[in-house]
Amino acid sequence: MTIKVSMRVNGKPVSAEVEPRTLLVNYIREHLRMTGTHVGCDTAQCGACTVHLNGKAVKSCSMLAMQAEGGEVVTIEGLAKADGTLHPMQAAFKEHHGLQCGFCTPGMIMNAVDFAKSNPAPTDEQVRAALDGNLCRCTGYQNIVKSVMAGARNMASSGS
Amino acid sequence: MKPPAFDYVAPTSIDEALEQLSRGGEDARPLAGGQSLVPMLALRLARPSLLVDLNRVTGLAGVSHAAGELRVGAMTRQRAILADSLIGRHAPALADATRFVGHEQTRNRGTIGGSIGLADPQSEYPAVALALGARIEARSPAGTRRIQVEKFFLGPYSTALDRGEIVTAVIFPDWGEGTLMHVDEVARRPGDFALVGLVAALRCDAAGKISRAGLAWFGMAPTPRRATRAEAALTGALASGVDAEEIGRLAVEDTEPWDDVHASASYRRTVGARVAARSLRRILDASSNRGRP
């Protein structure tokens, strides 16, 4: 059994015939060939696969592609401007060295962007609580927290 | 692909969803928020023949209050529960518990109905329902019924729902003036399943006497479990005279914790007594502060 699924990803309409068991993350990576969204655990633990669905951060490994039918999906590839200018949260991760190997970074940034929309000046504690669904095995989180705090301020001041 | 193959439908009405479920037979399953079920598919712990996605069914989400009852629609998302003012007023333990449920991203998808219907003995919402004396509204092709929470949870992942019947709402009775609630748990990491958790609700009358107590454990028995002995000891007692440590020790007497890789049963009992004492102290302190002019 395959079903047609249609949605918008980073502003562009896309559609495909997929098996119902296709996870949203597999659709994004394997059908759309956008590999910025990572798969760490496939079981909603690690957060590497975080994308936005209709403006909210979700774990794309824990949704079927079919469930995003008609939805608006934004992935890490959709954050920077067409001319390559980084999103304020991406710029903050670069500035504050909020990554080492980079595997968790797309998910960290997608979750942080959703969080910062409603928390323009978060405390260290609020950031740590908000990131409890994103695992990083390199950094010890110090610079990630610093990056998210700075990124949230950057987003608020740039109005994004 | 990790999940096993299945068929999928996304009906838009409850009647259509029930019809699809009954037509799908024994291995058809409803899909609510999917934050437990989809990982279970990826691990191949679940192998449904048909998934009936409830996310497009109209009328299943939302919170309302009337005639002394709070009605929380089954597809109300955890993120909405955290911020809902009616829940904050009438069943604050539900919002309080939500802090411990999963992570930001999973709370954007996860629902109360899914959690209640799954009946994981370690999850928070079933214990909230039990502590507060909720009723589970369920619908099948035969009609709608309300099941008392005491009769709903039968074992791990096992409920009184019939095949083809789905949870449509959870109904919480008003506890009234003078009620304070608190939820606490101990987990290895935030968002992990609790090793020990307790939902506590106490209502005090104007004279400072406890007129109603609801204490329900999660992660301490094959189902959420009421601490009936502790409830009985609290009911009728003066709030100012409660020995929280003693009630904490009494409260774990109604539990059946187990040994596993995460913790031993005796650890769970010891920590459980502390969690109960801490929760009660917190409620009683708030109650005595509130009583002051």
Residues 6+ apart with CB under 8 A from B242: B210, B234, B280, B284
The answer on pLDDT for A31 being more than 70 is: yes
Asked if B39 and A44 come within 8 Å (Cβ–Cβ), the reply is: yes
E strands, A19-131, are 50-53, 56-59, 72-74
Looking at A78, A103, A118, the residue that finishes a domain is A78
Range of the domain at B214: 179-289
pLDDT in tens, B33-64: 999 999 999 999 999 999 999 999 999 999 99
What is the sign of the dihedral through the CA atoms of A91, A94, A96 and A98?
positive
CA distance B260 to A48: 28
Asked if B104 and A42 come within 8 Å (Cβ–Cβ), the reply is: no
What pLDDT shows up at residue B288?
Answer: 83
- Let me know whether A98 and A56 are in one domain: no
Distance from CA of B2 to the nearest CA of A (A): 8
pLDDT in tens, B208-232: 999 999 999 999 999 999 999 999 9
Residue B2 forms part of a structural domain? no
CA distance A146 to B143: 54
The answer on pLDDT for A43 being more than 90 is: no
* Contact between residue A48 and residue A40 where contact means Cβ atoms under 8 Å apart: yes
- Let me know whether B213 and B152 are in one domain: no
Range of the domain at A65: 3-78
- Let me know whether B114 and B213 are in one domain: no
What pLDDT shows up at residue A77?
Answer: 98
Residue to test with chain B: of A46, A58, A74, most B Cβ within 10 A: A58
Asked if B38 and A23 come within 8 Å (Cβ–Cβ), the reply is: yes
What pLDDT shows up at residue B291?
Answer: 58
Residue to test with chain B: of A3, A5, A21, A73, most B Cβ within 10 A: A21
Q: Chain A: which residues have CB within 8 Å of chain B?
A: 1, 3, 19-23, 26, 42-44, 47, 50, 53, 56-59, 61-64, 66-67, 69, 111, 114-115, 129-130, 132-134
What pLDDT shows up at residue B289?
Answer: 79
- Let me know whether B273 and B184 are in one domain: yes
Looking at B148, B173, B198, the residue that finishes a domain is B173
Average pLDDT over residues B130-151: 98
- Let me know whether B274 and B192 are in one domain: yes
The CATH code of the domain that includes B236 is 3.30.390.50
- Let me know whether A61 and A107 are in one domain: no
Asked if B42 and A111 come within 8 Å (Cβ–Cβ), the reply is: no
pLDDT in tens, A83-127: 999 999 999 999 999 999 999 999 999 999 999 999 999 999 999
- Let me know whether B119 and B201 are in one domain: no
For A61, the closest of B6, B31, B42 (CB atoms) is: B42
The CATH code of the domain that includes A60 is 3.10.20.30
CA distance B161 to B167: 8
CA distance B96 to B117: 20
Residue at A149: amino acid letter: M
In B, minimum Cα distance to A48 occurs at B105
Instruction: State the total domains in chain B.
Output: 3
Residue B108 with chain A: CB contacts under 8 Å: 53, 56-58
pLDDT in tens, B2-28: 899 999 999 999 999 999 999 998 999
- Let me know whether A95 and A133 are in one domain: yes
Instruction: State the total domains in chain A.
Output: 2
- Let me know whether A49 and A108 are in one domain: no
Residue B274 forms part of a structural domain? yes
The CATH code of the domain that includes B116 is 3.30.465.10
- Let me know whether A13 and A59 are in one domain: yes
* Mean pLDDT value across chain B: 96
Rounded to two decimals, the ipTM of the complex is 0.94
The answer on pLDDT for B293 being more than 50 is: no
- Let me know whether A128 and A147 are in one domain: yes
- Let me know whether B136 and B221 are in one domain: no
The answer on pLDDT for B271 being more than 50 is: yes
Residue A83 forms part of a structural domain? no
Helices (DSSP H) in chain B: which residue ranges?
14-24, 37-42, 78-83, 85-90, 92-98, 104-107, 112-118, 124-132, 228-234, 244-251, 265-291
Cross-strand pairs, B182: B200
The answer on pLDDT for B292 being more than 70 is: no
Asked if A67 and B3 come within 8 Å (Cβ–Cβ), the reply is: no
For A44, the closest of B35, B53, B189 (CB atoms) is: B35
Residue A122 forms part of a structural domain? yes
pLDDT in tens, A51-62: 999 999 999 999
What pLDDT shows up at residue B98?
Answer: 97
- Let me know whether B147 and B211 are in one domain: no
CA distance B131 to B119: 15
- Let me know whether A53 and A100 are in one domain: no
